[in-house]
Amino acid sequence: MYQKGRVFAHTTVYPGSEIGYHVHENDAEIYYILSGEGRYNDNGNVVKVSAGDVTMTGSGEGHGIEAIGNEPIEMIALILYTE
């Protein structure tokens, strides 16, 4: 990724599991939800996400996602350096 990115991945979060809340420093992360439903914590603001939704967390901001329902969340995760 020409030293501009750290991660470009297809990720699965299974029901009852989560990617815990964490803060990004010097990078930003984007999720594109392919399938499933989840609770997305965007700097303390929790919203429901599902297929077709896109989230963005900038440098200095935090996020996390929890799979809800009976199916896993499948998503594309992209982390790009901001500096």
Question: Each residue of 19-75: pLDDT tens digit?
Answer: 999 999 999 999 999 999 999 999 999 999 999 999 999 999 999 999 999 999 999
> pTM value?
0.91
- Residue 60 CA to residue 22 CA, distance in Å, equals 10
78: three-class secondary structure by DSSP? strand
**Neighbour tally for 54: CB within 10 Å:** 11
* Structural tokens at position 24: 């990004």
The gap between the terminal CA atoms of the chain, to the nearest Å, is: 14
Domain 5-81, what fold? Jelly Rolls (2.60.120)
Q: Are 46 and 40 in contact (CB under 8 A)?
A: yes
Domain range annotation of the chain: 5-81
